Amino acid sequence: MNKEKTRIGVLVSGGGTNLQALIDAEAAGIIRSGTIAAVISNNPDAYALKRAQNAGIKTFVIPRATPGDREVFERRLAETLDENGIELIVLAGFMCILSAQFTDARPGRIINVHPSLIPSFCGKGYYGLRVHEEALKRGVKVTGATVHFVNSIPDGGEIIFQKAVGVLPDDTPESLQLRVMREAEWKILPEAAEKVSESIQKEKNA
């Protein structure tokens, strides 16, 4: 392994389609400046863990049983990231909101993909299928995905990349979700991971 590469930790909660896009992008050389060194999930049953294991990536499970145990959860998460030398954290379908204390300690080192063109359909409560349900309810003609830095405000960090996707007249929330993933999320998330990994690499070598 190239020790100069930025070590990426991917946080997941579910099926891991965005994780798979990152794994495939690294294999294809789209992600050149970074390497996925760990995949961490709050859900022991997440299929994303299997995807990581199939790719030979170290996996960790840190359950979060109740909303009140965030402090313990984040301490264990920070320890796991530090023990594995993680320099860039990618949230890829991670269903836990991180505290301001956690994000403020890592400025410019956490990125997230959101399935809309921020500032539309974003913020607290907007995740998963609900984003696409709301987009269709409002009758928008164009939606898409955004990769942004993570700060203390949900979906409030600086935008890195956005990609637009057209809404079709017969779209359902499910069909729109799938097209946004295929045409936007799976493209711009790896590109953003490379961009930020390269920036971190340059910082280290400066």
Q: In whole angstroms, what is the distance from residue 35 CA to residue 8 CA?
A: 6
Q: In whole angstroms, what is the distance from residue 191 CA to residue 70 CA?
A: 31
Among residues 43, 50, 51, which one has the least CA distance to residue 21?
51
Q: State the DSSP H helix or E strand holding residue 89, giving kind and residue range, or none if neither.
A: strand 88-91
DSSP 3-state percent helix, strand, coil across the chain (nearest 5): 40, 20, 40
Asked about 114 being catalytic, the answer comes back as: yes
Q: In whole angstroms, what is the distance from residue 202 CA to residue 127 CA?
A: 33
Cβ–Cβ under 8 Å, residues 113 and 147: yes
Q: In whole angstroms, what is the distance from residue 190 CA to residue 138 CA?
A: 30
Q: Is the bond into 169 cis (omega within 30 degrees of 0)?
A: no
Of 114, 132, 148, 179, catalytic: 114
Catalytic site positions: 114
